[in-house]
Structure 1
Amino acid sequence: MAISYKKLWHILIDRDMKKKDLERLAGINEYTTKKLTRNENVSVEVLGKISVALGCPIDDFVEFLPDEN
């Protein structure tokens, strides 16, 4: 199953935030942000930090996509 964080970037745009702002607010590092940008897996802990920092549930910024067969 693939994962997409496209909705996360839309939230940042809507809130006039940069990725650096998210890193600072959520306490995550640049390496993690790069993984998110590439739609790679990150830990549930990271998703939780982002959820708390943005004040929204995880499903507001994470989307699970079916595998392409």
Structure 2
Amino acid sequence: MTISYDKLWKLLIDKKMNKTDLKEQAGITYNIIARLGKCQPVNLESLYKICRCLECDIGDIMEFEIDEAVS
């Protein structure tokens, strides 16, 4: 199972924001932005800050993708 933050990037485009805007307004670090860009896990507090900043739910910024088993 992998994490996808594609919804977050689309939401930023819709809100005409860039990653630096998100960092400053949500109060998160560049390290968190980098981890999001690499589809790596981030802590729940950071996700909460992003959701609060963007006025959305966690499902609006991320999703889990199920890896298909190779036979």
TM-score by length of 2: 0.93
Query: Gaps (5+ residues) in structure 2?
Result: none
Distance in 2 between residues matched to 1:48 and 1:8, nearest whole Å:
13
Report how far residue 60 of structure 1 moved: 0.5
Aligned partner of 1:40 in structure 2 is: 40
Runs of 4+ in 1 over 3 A off after TM superposition: none
Aligned partner of 2:49 in structure 1 is: 49
Query: Gaps (5+ residues) in structure 1?
Result: none
Give yes or no for the alignment of 1:61 onto 2:61. yes
Render the CA deviation track for 1:11-59: whole Å, top value 9, x for unaligned: 0011110100000011001111000001000001111010100000000
Distance in 2 between residues matched to 1:22 and 1:68, nearest whole Å:
33
Structure whose alpha-carbon radius of gyration is higher: 2
Q: Percent identity?
A: 45
TM-score by length of 1: 0.95
